[in-house]
Structure 1
Amino acid sequence: MGTGPGGTGGGRGLAALVLSGTFQQKSGDPEPAECHRSGDARPSKPVSGVQLCTALNRADLPTLLGTPTEYAMNASGNESVGDWADGTRTVTPEAEVQLSTYTVQLSASGDDVPVAEMAGFLGSSAQNRTVGGHPAVLYSNRTVALKFNLGGGKVDTGPGGIARSLVVAKDTEDGGGFYEISIWRQDDVPPDDFALFRVAETVLPTVPGWTAG
């Protein structure tokens, strides 16, 4: 078991809980999971975590990921609240959909940092790209594996698998605000970049606040 990748989170970082082992689908329960709200934070505007989840939890998401026989086993949306030393509070809407092979996470930020300038602090392998005519940055992060010792009740941490993420400006002018979409596998196999771009190019235009290019 492990924790997911740290996202940009507006430069402050955010994490999610994921499993690094292989999930077993229930053959007698083939219905995909529906989005549910978790957490008690007030929904953020102009988009909420549940709205992001609804956009992400598409019927064709397994096909976009290259795993057409799978289905969403868990789907949730929430708002992550951050209180900072300067007295400001940020509310970051985020959603996660979990399949047998992949987990997909989508978040939205209102920060005014231009996406085109983010490659410099997202690692040496970060690449400037475009998604639907919007400036974007493709980068890698590593999940953190958690290993449970059932006999002793201890939890050990270590490096997990690779996550691939796209930070995408909300508009073509890169005028402020962005979405971040990440995928990672439940095994140690690197995720498919083509799958990430298929999901981003299909899902993001359906999210409130996206400006068509």
Structure 2
Amino acid sequence: MAGEIDGTMKGANAWGQAVAAVAVVGALGVGLWAFGETSTSHGDLPPATCSGGEPEKASRHVSGAQLCEALNRPDLAELLGTPEQKAKTAGGSGGSVELAGGKKIPTPSARVEFETYTVTLSATYDRLPVAGSATLLGDSAQQRKVLGRPAVLYSHRTISIRFRLDGSDSSSGPGVPARTVTVAQDAKDGGGSYDVSLWRSDGVVPDDAVLLGVAERVLPTVPGWAAEK
């Protein structure tokens, strides 16, 4: 019996990887989580609730649990255009990217999976601005404004990992196309970002209007959004 996981190739943030190659490790942080096996038939089961621990107290950074609570909203399926679907899995995770010299950049993240769509939300607490980053993300990257803050919209691919439950015969390769919007954590673009990523199980490229609609509804509910400088 084998399983398969799709994880986004997008790291803590792509221009961070241009500064420190070690940040590529963050590419596994958003998508490769141990949610366990799920059935393709959910019947009358209720939507999945967030797992991944409680928010950290007295922290200047949002936690994976808080990101999951913001992302796993009751109307998320409707925002995705699939109102009849229920969340199969939902979870939040801490995490960090370690740079040369031992400095760690917090990269908490959350993921909600439906039958058609998987959505992720992550935060990166670095000192890198979002404005101008489109030049580092390929020709198709587009500089935008989202909710009045600098943003960039671009494409990438997930990583598909196949494995047997006994741990043998694992393999990885390109997954499905994904779209991501990265938004500055503050209007002045003083460093740090939020990333919302979206991909479809059928391999169809997600619609940008759907992605931006999700980002515009979810991001203002992230703790500290309105209070940031």
Q: Do these two structures clear the TM 0.5 threshold for a shared fold by scoring above it?
A: yes
Residues 116-131 of structure 1 aligned to structure 2 (within 5 Å)? 116-131=131-146
Query: Hey, what does 1:3 align to over in structure 2?
Result: 6
Q: Equivalent residue for 2:156?
A: 141
How many angstroms apart in 2 are the aligned matches of 1:149 and 1:95?
25
Match of 1:107 among 122, 128, 134: 122
Where does structure 2 lack aligned partners over 5 or more consecutive residues?
17-22
CA distance in structure 2 between the aligned counterparts of 1:17 and 1:38, rounded to whole angstroms: 17
CA distance in 1, matches of 2:158, 2:113: 15
Corresponding residue pairs, total: 209
Paired position in structure 2 for 1:167: 182
Contact preservation (8 Å) 1:23, 1:101: no
**Alpha-carbon contact 1:35-1:50 (below 8 Å) kept:** yes
Q: Distance in 2 between matches of 1:165 and 1:70?
A: 22
Alignment partner, residue 41 of structure 2: 25
2:90 aligned with 1:87, yes or no? no
> Is the 1:2–1:160 Cα contact (8 Å) retained in structure 2?
no
- Once residues 186 and 178 of structure 2 are traced to their aligned partners in structure 1, the CA distance between those partners, rounded to angstroms, is 25
Aligned twin of 1:69? 84
Alpha-carbon RMSD across the aligned residues, in angstroms, is: 2.8
User: Where does the alignment leave 5 or more consecutive residues of structure 1 unmatched?
Assistant: none
- 1:187 Cα deviation after fit: 1.8
Q: In the alignment, is the contact (CA less than 8 A) between 1:44 and 1:91 conserved in 2?
A: no
Q: Percent identity?
A: 47
Distance in 1 of aligned mates of 2:158 and 2:116: 15
SS of 2:132 mapped into structure 1: helix
Give 1:81 shift.
Answer: 2.8
Identify which range, 166-175 or 59-68, moves more after superposition.
166-175
Q: How much has 1:166 moved relative to structure 2?
A: 0.4
* 2:123 counterpart letter in structure 1: A
TM-score (norm 2): 0.81
Q: Counterpart of 1:105 in 2: which secondary structure?
A: strand
The 1:144/1:132 distance shift into structure 2, 3 A limit, reads same
Deviation, structure 1 residue 183: 0.6
1:154-206 deviations in whole A, cap 9, x for unaligned? Answer: 23333221010000011222122210110111121111211101100000011
Measured after TM superposition, the shift of residue 110 of structure 1 is 1.6
- Give 1:144 deviation, angstroms: 2.1
Which residue in the other structure is 1:56 paired with?
Answer: 71
Give the letter for the 1:56 counterpart.
L
Instruction: Find out whether 1:188 has 2:209 as its counterpart.
Output: no
C-alpha displacement of 1:65: 0.6
Q: Counting strand residues as a fraction of each chain, which structure ranks higher?
A: 1
2-structure distance, mates of 1:85, 1:113: 16
Letter in 2 for 1:190: V
**AA aligned opposite 1:93:** P
TM-score by length of 1: 0.87
Specify the alignment match of 2:223 in structure 1. 208
Deviation at 1:121, TM superposition (A): 1.1
Q: Kindly state the Cα deviation for residue 44 of structure 1 after the two structures are TM-superposed.
A: 5.6
Give CA-to-partner distance per residue, 1:94-138, whole Å, 9 cap, x none: 111111111111111121211012111112210001111111000
CA distance in 2, matches of 1:4, 1:43: 30
